[in-house]
Amino acid sequence: MKKCLKGLLLLAASINFTALADVIIDSSRERHIPIEMSHPIQAEVCKAELPCPVAFISAGYGVSHSNYQFIASLFKQKGYMVVAIGHELPNDPPLSVSGNLYETRSENWSRGAVTLDFIRNNLKARFKNYDFDNLTLVGHSNGGDISAWLANEGKDYIQDIITLDHRRVPLPRRGDVKVLSIRASDFPADKGVLPTTSEQQKFGSCVVTIPKARHNDMEDEGPEWLKTKINALIAGFLEENSCAQLANDTNPLN
């Protein structure tokens, strides 16, 4: 089975910033998967013997995978390689809007999970200076559902999962996967998607709602105050702040 990378295009050429638009071909499924890959600000410190961390960003349905630059910039500053992934291709069936959505959308989430796993394995073989064995998954809306679906498959290479107002797929209840779910205020998640307070305490997960945040605004075109709040929560999570500290970051007075 042929698996190859092609179509490498340099989007920005400067000493301190490298963003590459790429297409990864999964020949087994005849899928040409668009990604945007960025190296950390200080990429020179990344070595095979001390690899730098990696974060995958999965977009919300109908949102470009390149529309999360505010999050990508934070991760690059924190020393991460960032890979933003476009899951929806022109020939894919539209996302279901009727029936039992957990059942009718499961094909989309399962397909997206296969894509994340494929890209991880593909890039791991190419980029030896980065740690694909302790991966951070970030997903907005349907991208969060995809990320949660993969995390629930028991993959041992997932270290953290951060979702931005995903609503359908239950978050993992696993002690070996750290969980942060940042919630908007306009739509509730389905029953059983979010861990209860006792489950959060048991597994060390965290659910934080941002007052007055809107689901559709959690991307680059959203308001600056909301992007600042989201990044503050992600930064605190990466720094292993307590859930109580993270919740304080959402205080409108902060």
Write the CB contacts of 253 (distance below 8 Å, at least 6 apart in sequence): none
Strand arrangement of the beta sheet that strand 52-58 belongs to: 3-14, 17-26, 31-38, 81-85, 52-58, 130-140, 158-164, 178-183, 206-209
pLDDT reported for residue 6: 36
pLDDT reported for residue 14: 30
* Count of CA atoms in the C-beta half-sphere (13 A) of 85: 32
pLDDT reported for residue 163: 98
- The CATH class, in words, for 3-248 is alpha beta
User: Alpha-carbon distance 95 to 72, whole Å?
Assistant: 26
DSSP symbol at 184: -
Q: Please, are residues 139 and 57 in contact by the beta-carbon 8 Å criterion?
A: yes
Q: Please, are residues 130 and 161 in contact by the beta-carbon 8 Å criterion?
A: no
User: Alpha-carbon distance 160 to 156, whole Å?
Assistant: 11
Domain boundaries, the chain: 3-248
pLDDT averaged per 10 residues, the chain (length 254): 35 38 92 96 96 98 97 97 97 95 97 98 97 98 98 96 98 96 97 96 96 97 97 96 86 58
pLDDT reported for residue 247: 87
